[in-house]
């Protein structure tokens, strides 16, 4: 039982990062109809910049703020590139542009920073926390705590602010929102900036645990996409649930599969995605309804 608890704890912490990525993908998809396959690169870019600045002895808070700011600017540039295609009804082109942007961001990171992993200090020192036979590194506590606060903040914005109501109105009917005085293009810009910030926060808190390099973004983006689809692309809460589910299943597979087959654990997220699409095509948290004809 202690071994199982350890795997679940590890899965929930890793799943918190997947949830942040999936939440960003779900927000953009809901408001703009575009699947942002560059979301994982936001995580990579922020984590890599944070670790590089840390290696150059930049104070931790300043390094985190700088990484966050640069990543949000990249999100702004991506939105300016994607929006004209999406506004013209070419959602397929917009999605392809996010894939191309993902490859470009990774290539620039490889050329400018290099291929070697970078290392960042944990936010706090000390021994791992132990409970019920399981242990949790203190940095994992930061990951779970910050992810929970960010998700709570997103929920509060979406449900208790005018901006959040405008985003939800745009998601439901852009034309009706426009007639009500809401600018869909402004909502698109805000949601891209918010999603870039979500990815950046995930990258910064993960950097001390998983020494980032320029190649991690695509994998994180695909797992975040799996989380968003599993939970339901039109439900931000579903993306969070999907991320946690992917993290736990992946951790259990890594723990219980023979060591010679541990490499298959990375494919677990996509297997879960396939099963979810067959069993619950509308998402884990979406009620399946039928219409009598």
Mapping DSSP to helix (H, G, I), strand (E, B) and coil, where does residue 114 land? coil
Residue 267 vs residues 50, 115, 207, 208, 254: alpha-carbon distances, Å: 28, 24, 23, 24, 11
How do residues 195-222 score in pLDDT, each as one tens digit?
A: 999 999 999 998 888 888 888 888 888 8
What is the DSSP-derived secondary structure letter of residue 134?
E
pLDDT of residue 68: 95
Residue 124's CB is within 10 A of a number of other CB atoms, namely 10
**103 vs 255: CA distance, rounded Å:** 32
pLDDT of residue 72: 95
Structure tokens at 152: 């709570």
Q: What is the pTM of this model?
A: 0.85
pLDDT of residue 218: 86
CA-based nearest residue to 137, from 149, 147, 124, 146: 124
Task: State the CATH class of domain 2-125+138-279.
Answer: mainly alpha
- Weakly modelled stretches of the chain, pLDDT under 50: 260, 288-293
pLDDT of residue 269: 64
Q: What is the dihedral of CA 210, 215, 216, 220, to 10 degrees?
A: 180
pLDDT of residue 219: 84
How do residues 106-164 score in pLDDT, each as one tens digit?
A: 999 988 888 888 888 888 877 777 776 677 788 888 888 998 899 899 889 988 999 88
**Rg (Cα) of the chain, in Å, rounded?**
19
**96 vs 90: CA distance, rounded Å:** 10
pLDDT of residue 289: 43
């Amino acid at each position: 039982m202690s071994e199982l608890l350890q795997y679940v704890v590890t899965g929930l912490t890793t799943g918190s990062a997947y949830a942040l990525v999936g939440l960003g993908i779900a927000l953009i998809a809901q408001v703009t109809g575009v699947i942002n396959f560059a979301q994982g690169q936001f995580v990579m870019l922020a984590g890599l910049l944070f670790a590089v600045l840390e290696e150059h002895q930049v104070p931790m808070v300043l390094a985190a703020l700088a990484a966050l700011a640069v990543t949000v600017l990249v999100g702004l540039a991506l939105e300016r590139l994607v929006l004209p295609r999406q506004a013209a009804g070419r959602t397929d082109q917009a999605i392809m542009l996010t894939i191309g942007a993902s490859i470009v961001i990774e290539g620039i990171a490889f050329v400018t920073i290099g291929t070697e992993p970078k290392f960042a200090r944990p936010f706090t020192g000390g021994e791992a926390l132990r409970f019920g036979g399981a242990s949790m590194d203190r940095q994992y506590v930061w990951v779970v705590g910050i992810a929970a606060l960010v998700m709570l903040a997103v929920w509060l914005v979406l449900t208790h602010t005018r901006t959040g109501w405008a985003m939800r109105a745009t998601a439901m009917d852009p034309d009706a929102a426009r007639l009500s005085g809401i600018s869909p293009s402004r909502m698109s810009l805000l949601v891209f900036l918010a999603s870039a910030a979500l990815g950046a926060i995930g990258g910064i808190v993960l950097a001390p645990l998983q020494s980032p390099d320029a190649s991690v973004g695509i994998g994180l983006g695909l797992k975040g996409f799996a989380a968003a689809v599993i939970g339901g692309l039109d439900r931000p809460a579903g993306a969070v649930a999907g991320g946690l589910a992917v993290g736990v299943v992946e951790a259990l597979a890594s723990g219980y599969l023979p060591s010679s087959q541990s490499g298959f654990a990375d494919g677990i997220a996509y297997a879960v995605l396939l099963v979810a699409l067959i069993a619950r095509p509308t998402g884990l948290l979406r009620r399946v309804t039928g219409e009598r004809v």
